[in-house]
Amino acid sequence: MAKRDYYEVLGVAKNASEAELKKAYRRAAQKFHPDRNPDDKEAEVKFKEAKEAYEVLTDARKRAAYDQFGHAGVDPSMGGGPGGGGFGAGAAGASFSDIFGDVFGDIFGGGGGGARGANRVYRGADLRYNLELSLEDAVRGTTVKIRVPTMVKCETCGGSGAKEGSKPVTCTTCGGHGQVRMQQGFFSIQQTCPNCRGAGTIIADPCGTCHGQGRVKESKTLSVKVPPGVDTGDRIRLAGEGEAGENGGPSGDLYVQIRVKEHPIFARQEQDLYCEVPISFTTAALGGELEVPTLDGRVKLKIPEETQTGKLFRLRGKGVSPVRGGPTGDLLCRVLVETPANLNPEQKELLRNFEQTLHEGGSRHRPQESSWLDGVKKFFEGMKF
């Protein structure tokens, strides 16, 4: 029977981190463990399947081979190399007490079963950097230099953690396995070795620069190319720019999280831009032309006669070109009729005279007000007091 995809078995994405793999494995182990499913052959198969997938995907070398060649890259029976999927004849014949120890060793702090902890490489942690951009830079795209604090490989010892001329020695507590087995009544519990913390080796003469860690803290400057059209919530992945791995493991990734700052004139909604344009009472009544800003410069906006406050004018193609492709958005200008302020006595008298002429002309000069008053009148007539 053909084997299922390891990522599918654990229910994770192909770029899943080690923490995500461990969480998925624990969930599967607790669900399908034989002690919880006695005499259930299907559960036993799924448990072994999950264990096999976990052992391959948490080993950087095996995972790389599996990603490139599939099961053939890790299974010796299919022509794979010696680093095959650690679930061959040996694993298939393992007792349930060994399997049980693996699961609960993980849950209670272990790093995996058997000798997998010995000299195991660990992928570096992913990092996140929050980048604030102006609306103009987000729309047009830009290149930004950022400074990121991270853990990098110690150049003095080459990442080994040992002083020059020395090397790590086998841990005497676990014999180089990285795991110790503890008997608790009926159960045999496997845990991470407390002496070497799962590495399988001890650094007797540590490097003076990194003090045996193999990594040092350092800030590095990176150039981030921001594509046009990004928006708040988008992120840019810089592969291999995260923390350095342990024991020669690959570096993690850096995720640059985008946040666009508020703009004093424009507001953005997906690919469209919005702005409010105040106009005078006279321009609203008689019509006119005014200049409005866009991200590409100024444009003329024609205001027709009798324009009411709140009316939207659409300037096509003056919005944002989406980062993932698609048509460029529009600029929508919402006009606000401004009430005159700080009037002198003469101006106030002119307005009173003007208001009188409007009332003498009937409702045709005030269509919205007249319509609203008619609605209010009908509303009260229909009420029963």
Residue 223 β-bridge partners = 145
pLDDT of residue 368 exceeding 80, the answer is no
Paired strand residues for 294? 297
**pLDDT greater than 90 at residue 249:** no
**Domains contained in the chain, CATH given:** 6-94 (1.10.287.110), 127-175+186-260 (2.60.260.20), 262-339 (2.60.260.20), 347-385 (no CATH)
Residue at token pair 């990004």: 230
Q: How far apart are CA 72 and CA 75, in angstroms?
A: 6
Contact 157, 214 (CB under 8 A): yes
pLDDT at 82 over 50: no
3-state secondary structure of 342: coil
Residue 110, strand partner residues: none
Q: Smallest Cα–Cα separation from 271: which of 310, 317, 335, 205? A: 317
pLDDT classification of 131: cutoffs 50, 70, 90: very high
Measured at the CA of 236, the angle between CA 231 and CA 238, to 5 degrees, comes to: 165
C-alpha 138 chain-centroid distance: 18
Percentage above 70 pLDDT, the chain: 80
Higher pLDDT, 286 or 381: 286
> How far apart are alpha carbons 105 and 189 in whole angstroms?
6
Q: How far apart are CA 150 and CA 188, in angstroms?
A: 39
CA distances, 130 to each of 208, 234, 300 (Å): 34, 11, 38
Question: In angstroms, rounded to a whole number, what is the distance separating the alpha carbons of residues 293 and 301?
Answer: 10
Question: In the predicted model, is pLDDT for residue 339 greater than 50?
Answer: yes
CA Rg, the chain, in Å? 35
CA–CA gap between residue 109 and residue 114 (Å, rounded) = 14
**Stretch (H or E) spanning 22:** helix 18-32
Confidence of residue 83 (pLDDT cuts 50, 70, 90): very low
